[in-house]
Amino acid sequence: MTNPDARRTTSIIGLARELVGGTVGLIRTEIASARQEAGEGAGRLKGAAIVLAIALVLVFLTLMALVVVLVAVLDIFLPLWASALIVFVVLVVLAVLIGYLGVRRLSAARTAVTIPQTRASIQEDIAWAKRLLKRD
């Protein structure tokens, strides 16, 4: 005859192994999901950074030529120092506006990096595990 306690211990051990294996598999799936979601967010950040860099380079090149032209034109009507000051103020205002737009894009892309879908999925898994443990 087989010992019923030994068989029960074996089945409990088997169930515990399945539970641990399932938990490990679930954790691996959640980690893979988080990596994928973070990669998508990083791609958005990269795109925003590239657009911002291109805009900054174009602004810099344009302003180099424009500064010379504006100072020369204003020098016809005003003293040289006043012409240079006016051009400087205009350049500062433009730099602030373009910088603000770049920061807004980076802020919008940052929310994608916080992996909200994976976080919600993990919270659901934790709630499910708690409900499962409360049943016993």
Cα gap 125→30, rounded to integer Å: 9
**pLDDT (tens digit per residue) in 97-123:** 999 999 998 888 777 666 777 778 888
Residue 43, pLDDT score: 77
Report DSSP letters for 31-79, one per residue.
HHHHHHHHHHHHHHHHHHHHHHHHHHHHHHHHHHHHHHHHHHHHHHHS-
Q: Which two tokens stand for residue 70?
A: 């504006």
DSSP 1: -
In this structure, the dihedral spanned by the alpha carbons of residues 6, 10, 15 and 16, taken in order and rounded to 10 degrees, is 100
* pLDDT (tens digit per residue) in 47-64: 888 999 999 999 888 878
